[in-house]
Amino acid sequence: MTADIYRPAAPAAPNDLDAFWMPFTANRAFRRRPRLIAAAEGMHYVTVDGRRILDGAAGLWCCNAGHGRAPIVRAIQEQAARLDYAPTFQYGHPAAFALASRLADLAPGDLNRVFFTNSGSEAADTALKIAIAYWQAKGKATKTRLIGRERGYHGVGFGGVSVGGISANRKSFGALLPGVDHLPHTYSREHQAFSRGQPEWGAHLADELERLVALHDASTIAAVMVEPMAGSTGVLPPPRGYLERLRAICDRHDILLVFDEVITGFGRLGAAFAAERFGVLPDMLTFAKGVTSGAAPMGGVIVREGVFEAFMQGPAHMIELFHGYTYSAHPLACAAGLAALDLYRDEDLFARARRLEETLADAVHALKGLPGVLDVRNIGLAAGIDLAPAKDDDGREVPGRRGLAAIERGFHDHDVLLRVGGDTIALSPPLIASESDIADLVERVRRVIIATG
């Protein structure tokens, strides 16, 4: 620990909070009582007034190696001094190829070819575009339909929102993409409440894909995209056998299966990717967040050999895929990524997450019985806790109000950073957490639940 980090930032707080329109934030509520973070190290954030805040969310599901890790900091600094930026359209730089090779080694099966983006949203849209272009390259240009899932989150691009299944994210933005359909989500409180790990009930919901194939015909369907574990809508582990069935149905009808591993990649479920943990190989896998442990923006898509090969036809002077970003494989992100992967390997952090899974499960499931705790779910180093919504003076439920209160109480009164969606708390601590950090985190959550009940 450096002493510096606990020194309040100067100036302690900006004097004007008006200009920044904050993403996915209740802006007016925030300005009334701001939650300002000035520094971070290890498992903790430090507020502008010098308080240590336990990080219960790895930032936003991304800082898997913890905060302020010296090798990552050094790698970014050295890379910035050596090569600030290089285009990757028709040119390359060594770190991009090095990181792609490392990711190909980490990904299961023949998921060997890596396309870089700058975020999970861009990764999702890139995967959807590759799926449609793949079938065109294979001479099956009618296969354009995209299938997502209710309660799915694939970021905020038009593709990801269209395939995603969160109504709040969709309803303000018009008709979205045409030719999209959705599987039902896999959550049932009635059948699954307080399950540990993968619920026993729900594999049959994958068969809904057969119904969509019967409705639309496989000749119109390009791909199915799902999160192997839905994270943003409250940690929904896949029912036992569900992903296997999806894979089998996709195989039967020549449909590409895409796993959105933006949250589940890089150890969250105790393996490099959820595909490895669940033993199901998708045709494409998206990643972001943990690839740099959150230290630089980066995302991407890893595709199987056969997908890549379909594009490597035609004249060699031609661009094979008319897609990419100015900052695809940005040198600073590549340096951060290489350093983060080294840390994951050298500290065996994915296995550590797997070992800590039971510790987290025991701690969160002990919250059952607290007033207003409707369900608790867990898998890997992630857990979801559904809280009963607050009620207004007339006894009507006000969804989301208790959730915001949990964020506020957590930050200001209990020194913990929580990720909350609606009235569900999602826990995803950095993978460097100790057993006592996990006990401490869940104790703070217990106090927040009581305080907001």
User: Which span sits near ligand PLP by CB under 6 A: 80-88, 119-127, 315-323, 347-355?
Assistant: 119-127
Judged by CB under 6 A, the residue of 124, 132, 161, 298 near ligand PLP is: 124
Query: CA angle, corner 120, sides to 292 and 108, nearest 5?
Result: 70
Judged by CB under 6 A, the residue of 93, 143, 154, 419 near ligand PLP is: 154
Judged by CB under 6 A, the residue of 42, 59, 120, 430 near ligand PLP is: 120
Instruction: With H, G, I as helix, E, B as strand and everything else as coil, classify residue 15.
Output: coil
Q: Which of 242, 295, 244 is nearest to 67 (CA)?
A: 295
| Residue 287 near ligand PLP by CB under 6 A | no
Cβ proximity to ligand PLP, 234 vs 299, nearer residue: 299
| Residue 265 near ligand PLP by CB under 6 A | no
- Region 190-229 residues binding ligand PLP, contact defined as CB under 6 A: 227
CA atoms of 13 and 221, how far apart (whole Å): 52
The torsion angles phi and psi of 214, rounded to 5 degrees, stand at: -65, -35
| Residue 330 near ligand PLP by CB under 6 A | no
- Region 20-79 residues binding ligand PLP, contact defined as CB under 6 A: 61
Cβ proximity to ligand PLP, 100 vs 166, nearer residue: 166
CA atoms of 147 and 156, how far apart (whole Å): 16
Sequence-distant (6+) residues with CB within 8 A of 113 are 100, 104, 302, 303, 304, 305, 307, 308
User: Which span sits near ligand PLP by CB under 6 A: 85-93, 117-125, 420-428, 445-453?
Assistant: 117-125
Could you tell me the smallest distance in angstroms from the CB atom of residue 24 to ligand PLP? 9
CA atoms of 216 and 121, how far apart (whole Å): 27
Cβ proximity to ligand PLP, 288 vs 383, nearer residue: 288
Cβ proximity to ligand PLP, 43 vs 226, nearer residue: 226
| Residue 373 near ligand PLP by CB under 6 A | no
Could you tell me the smallest distance in angstroms from the CB atom of residue 160 to ligand PLP? 6
Could you tell me the smallest distance in angstroms from the CB atom of residue 229 to ligand PLP? 9
Q: How many CB atoms lie within 10 A of CB 144?
A: 18
| Residue 56 · residue 418 · CB < 8 Å | yes
Helix and strand element counts for the chain (H, E)? 16, 17
| Residue 121 near ligand PLP by CB under 6 A | yes
Asked if the peptide bond before residue 11 counts as cis, ω within 30 degrees of 0, the response is yes
| Residue 159 near ligand PLP by CB under 6 A | no
Secondary structure letter of residue 388 according to DSSP? P
Contact residues for ligand PLP (CB under 6 A)? Answer: 61, 119-121, 124, 153-155, 227, 231-232, 260, 262-263, 288, 299
